[in-house]
Amino acid sequence: MQVSIVDAFTQTPGAGNRAGVVLDAAGLDEEVMQRIAAAVGASETAFVLSGPSEEGVRLRYFTPVDEIDFCGHATVATFHLLAERGLLPRSGATRLECAAGTLEVELETAGARGSRVWIVTPRHPWLETPVPLSQVLPLVGGTVDMVDTSLPVHRNAHRLVVPFRRREDVWSLAPRSGALAELLRPHGVSGVYVFTRDTREAGSVAHSRYFVPGLGIAEDPVTGSAAGPLGMYLAKQGVIVLPSEGGVVRARIEQGDAMGKPGRIEVEVSGRAGAPERARIGGVAVTVFEGTLRP
């Protein structure tokens, strides 16, 4: 089985978020894909089941322990690789078919050889946290005084989104993964996404870390599927300011720095002030190596 290893949200090998990509996965059953993902050992591996074609590209995603419905960095990695191989144009619109639904994808030329991949991220409702923060914080290594109380703590899909005041507090976190997974599992939550507006770079809007023990991932380096919803959250809270008459605003989210794997996710939010309607994430990638896996 031919497998490519691609680092997404960076153009520096070893930085960003690493994904496995299997371009020819037609005919593989779920058990085999799960075994391949476990052997590859990246936080997610994407499997191309069909395409590219007029209908787009059909993908499935597996962590080392389970299947998930969508993965941002593995999607960026896959479409980067398809364009690099000449299987897709370096710029243009297409579609992604996955368990999360049909999502719009656009490639735009980035640099001499690469492409930036833009993906409309799935929307999920924003809900009150089902787990008291007083129980969550000790298990991620934080304290209540670290939380930015000017912003709400919410649940979005299978993650909790928790705002912190200072970047140094975000960097200091050291979760107890087993205990955290046990606490969250009964509520259908797999991870905690922590962010702060105290960024490293002046052009960024947030700096984040994501702990996902419920999916077998102690910490995900750079998470596109969380960055898109974070863009919507920040626009709804007025941190990202949309025009009152409606429009589009782009921002940048930092992640991975605390792990020594810095990545940068572009986020595009459209809608009216206080009422965002859609988010896209954008990122570049670099192919690190390719090889033959013998399960």
Backbone dihedral angles phi then psi of residue 284, each to the nearest 5 degrees: -100, 175
Kindly tell me the sign of the dihedral angle through the C-alpha atoms of 275, 281, 282, 283: positive
| Residues with Cβ within 8 Å of residue 17, at least 6 apart in sequence | 7, 8, 9, 43, 73, 220, 221, 222, 223, 256, 261, 263
44 included as an active-site residue: yes
Active-site residue, from 30, 31, 44, 54: 44
| Residues with Cβ within 8 Å of residue 145, at least 6 apart in sequence | none
Structure tokens at 143: 């304290």
Helix ranges (H only) for 95-201 are: 133-140, 167-172, 177-184
N-terminal to C-terminal alpha carbon distance within the chain: 8
- Name the residues annotated as catalytic: 44
